[in-house]
Amino acid sequence: MKKLLCALLALTMLFGMALAANAAFENVVFISYNQGKNANDGFSDTTAKQTLGTTEDGGAISELQNGGILVISGKFFIGASYVWNSNGKVTIKGTCDGVDYRKYEPATNPGGGVMKLGSGASLTIASGEVVLDDMILFQENNQNSIIVKDGATLTVTENITCMTKTGNNYYFKIKVEEGGTANINGGIFSAVEGDGNITIGNGVTVIDSGIGEVPEFPVSDATLCYVDYAGNDNNDGSSDTKGVKTWDRVMNIVPNGGTVVVSGKSYTGGANNVNEYTIPKTTNPLTITSVYEGKDYKNPDPDTNPACAYKLGSGTVLNIAGDVTFDNIILFQENRQNKIVVKSGASLTITDTVVCMTKPGNEHYYNIVVEAGGKATINGGTFSSIGGAGEITVAEGVTVLEGVTGGTDGPEDGVSNICFLNYSGSDKNDGLTPDTPVRGYTNGVLKVLPSGGTVVLTGKSYISGTSNVNAYTIPALSGPLTFTSVYNGVDYKNPDPDTNPACAFKLGSGTILNIEGDIIFDDLILFQENLQNTLHVCYGATLIITDKTVFMTKPGNEYHYKIVIDEGATAILSEEAQKVCTIENNGDLLTYVAEDNSTVVKLTIGDTVGYVNGAAKTLDAAPIIRESRTMLPVRFVAEAFGAEVKWDGATSTASVITADTTIEITIGATTAKVNGQTVTLDAPAFIENSRTYLPVRFVAENLGATVAWDGATSTATLTK
């Protein structure tokens, strides 16, 4: 009996341990839109699922039907409105086993641990419970919503971080339908509404309801402000434990200048939907440093994203409008090329204690541009380039990878909206004429056109990888870059020889061209030479290939370019481009439709109403038919096609004049003059009811228009 009791006790203990182990076990699924695949098992960050998907397509939701934890190890993106159905409780978070996947930068598109929806999309929780915890909820473009249905529950913990795209004044909305439940304990939302059971904690901000509304801070007269992206703009910035988060708040605290102590990461993104930020002019100089009162906060680890450094959003331009000094601080270049622009009347000083770092794999550091009237004194650091028309002093210890430019030593930064490009040219040229083309991009095109413009290929354009990386990046500019080989009536395109066209756009063998801004290929030759090349359209960028673009590939090749479209990117491609290119699309793919710039005029016999491009216009007299010819007061047609009409009463001659054509018709004459040459009319002009009637077809065709006649409706259609 005693042995039996011991055995039962042992079984009970084993059963209890099994239950405890079972209770401790939770189904964990990883998701990463930018790195995962739905074919993966989803059980680790290296085998993450890509989307929620469905139970049929292997998406993450198929592993969460009975609840679990969804770990966002990259970006969690739901492109279109989605209905969530599961039977249990699912916690969505950006942390797991001590690893924090949350990356708050760039502010325009946080890098990890973030959930976002496609523009205007909604997430409907139809069953079960969804918990948002330890993650970033990002509102990107048009208003997103979370809808909680009858019987479902949404819980938002106090660990949630709510962000919105720079320039937005709204966050997610939450709507709780009757029978649904929402427990909101943290975050910022535009609205929390509905007929369901709603609980809102003290730390929640609901903008539309005025709950916890972000305060309007009074302007300060302080001369010291600590900044740390992990801080909070509700802080006063007076110490490292009260650091503020954003530079808008910094400038609110020290509007008259002073010292800004970077005690963690300082992140400056664009503002007002523009990829640039301006440090305004202050009454006194502004010093930005990471060393203050004997404490050195600089921390270069990890080298992919230093723990304490000053950095800009990818591709962001920092404008200096006042007097700014960087001292004893790390300047970190992360992704796309950053630039500091010193405006007229402003000054920038960089001391010899500044440390410049770049993300591993980058070949560039910050660019510095000093506009006319600006001043820069650079005593330390490493920069990709320093140039401009302002006053520049560069100390001996400074490293400038591409040299210090100014005057006539190479193209000036931002001198034109046109840049001529030819690989046989030189980056010492100004790029402003076909005879002085630049050769390359970093020291050529991007210096002449830092804000975008038109690149005219008069010969070969050749792009290869850099720094042992088989890729090159054209950064986002404030305007698009249009590449063409036709300009001012001159067509430079030259397909000969077919092994290496004399005038064409080409990439080095197997090179990837990363497009981070807006690029247009129009009326040029895109040449695929050896190993397949790739046009990679990055998040937020747009690639347009018009129907005038010619595709060529080296004889013997069976492929053209590969085009990769990231999530959040757009490609508008001609039908030919879609036909010949290999396309991987995770963003928006549209078909290019050429603009119709033609003018269409419709006239009906006996009707005083005519139409120009579909818009009704009143004629001073209706068209009539004489001697089987359509005649009308010519002013209506002439002016529709941009011509001027003059009348010489002494000779009874009407003249129709454009920039390159002059037509002279005399009343009653059987001939007319076109640019001084005598030609025969198919019907003479006449005057009736004080109106001069001219033959429509003769005038229209000599103005470059075509004429179509519809006998059934007695309508003439003129197209130019």
Neighbour count for residue 1 (Cβ, 10 Å): 5
Say if residue 561 is exposed, middle or buried (CB neighbours under 10 Å; 0-12, 13-18, 19+): buried
Does 484 have pLDDT greater than 70? Answer: yes
For residues 336-358, average pLDDT: 92
Burial of 295 (0-12, 13-18, 19+ CB in 10 A): exposed
| Out of 91-105, 261-275, 586-600, least confident range | 261-275
Consecutive H or E run containing 453: strand 453-457
Yes or no: say if 187 and 155 are a contact pair by the CB < 8 Å rule.
Answer: no
DSSP assignment of 410-430, as one string?
A: SPPTT--SEEEE-TTS-TTS-
Which of 393, 341, 385, 388 lies closest to 363 in space, CA to CA?
Answer: 385
Mean pLDDT taken over the chain: 86
Question: Which pLDDT does position 405 carry in this prediction?
Answer: 56
Phi and psi based region of residue 300 (left: phi greater than 0; alpha: psi -120 to 50; beta: remaining): alpha
Superfamily of domain 600-719: Copper amine oxidase-like, N-terminal domain (3.30.457.10)
The answer to whether residues 693 and 633 touch, using CB atoms and an 8 Å cutoff, is yes
DSSP conformational letter for 630: E
Per-residue pLDDT of 220-242, as tens digits, reads 789 999 999 888 887 889 999 99
Phi, psi (deg, nearest 5) at residue 168: -75, 150
DSSP 478: S
Mean pLDDT for the stretch of residues 9-20: 40
Ramachandran sector of residue 24 (left: φ over 0; alpha: ψ -120 to 50; beta: rest): alpha
Name the β-bridge partners of 630.
625
- The CA angle 51-270-99, to the nearest 5 degrees, is 40
pLDDT at 119: 80
Rounded CA separation 400/364 (Å) = 10
**Cβ(421)–Cβ(456) below 8 Å:** yes
* Positions of E strands within 129-176: 129-132, 136-139, 145-148, 153-156, 161-164, 173-176
For residue 330, report the phi and psi dihedrals to the nearest 5 degrees. Answer: -95, 125
Residue of higher predicted confidence among 489 and 431: 431
Burial of 660 (0-12, 13-18, 19+ CB in 10 A): exposed
- pLDDT-derived band at 408 (thresholds 50, 70, 90) equals very low
pLDDT band with cut points at 50, 70 and 90 for residue 469 = low
Give the residue ranges of DSSP H helices in 207-261.
247-253
SS3 619: coil
Displacement of CA 348 from its chain's centroid (Å): 29
Q: What pLDDT does residue 210 have?
A: 56
Strands laid side by side in the 82-84 sheet:
82-84, 122-125, 145-148, 173-176, 191-194
**Taking the domains of the chain in order of start, what are their residue ranges?**
23-206, 224-400, 441-591, 600-719
**Interstrand relation of 706-710 and 715-719 (parallel, antiparallel or unpaired):** antiparallel
Record the tokens describing residue 156, joined without a space: 């938002």
Closest by CA to 421, choosing from 446, 440, 443, is 440
Is there a contact between 595 and 584 (Cβ–Cβ < 8 Å)?
no
* Residues sharing a CB contact under 8 Å with residue 405, sequence separation 6 or more, in sequence order: 385, 386, 387, 388, 412, 413, 447
Q: How far apart are CA 635 and CA 696, in angstroms?
A: 11
Give the tens place of pLDDT for each residue, 125-138: 999 999 999 999 99
Name the 3-class secondary structure at 535.
Answer: strand
For 139-173, how does the pLDDT look when each residue is reduced to its tens digit (9 = 90+)? 988 889 999 999 999 999 989 999 988 767 789 99
List alpha helices for 522-664, DSSP H: 575-580, 635-640
The residue-averaged pLDDT of 481-488 equals 91
Instruction: With a cut of 60, say whether residue 542 has pLDDT above it.
Output: yes
d(CA 262, CA 289): 6
CA distances from 21 to 25, 26, 68 (A): 6, 10, 15
Among residues 479, 391, 413, 365, the alpha carbon closest in space to that of 427 is found at 413
* Measured distance CA(613)–CA(383) in Å, rounded: 55
Question: How far, in Å, CA of 468 to CA of 511, rounded?
Answer: 11
DSSP label at 241? G
- pLDDT tens digits, one per residue of 665-680: 999 898 999 999 999 8
Residue with the bigger pLDDT between 23 and 588: it is 588
Question: Would you say 327 and 289 are in contact if contact means Cβ atoms under 8 Å apart?
Answer: yes
CB atoms within 10 A of CB 657: 14
Question: What pLDDT does 25 receive?
Answer: 45
Smallest CA-to-CA distance from 503 within 514, 493, 513 is with 493
SS3 660: coil
3-state DSSP call for residue 121? Answer: coil
**Long-range Cβ pairs for the range 244-253 (8 Å, 24+):** 247/277, 247/279, 249/217, 250/225, 251/279, 251/280, 252/217, 252/219, 252/220, 253/220, 253/222, 253/225
Range from 244-258, 579-593, 695-709 carrying the lowest mean pLDDT: 695-709
Residue 218's pLDDT is what? 64
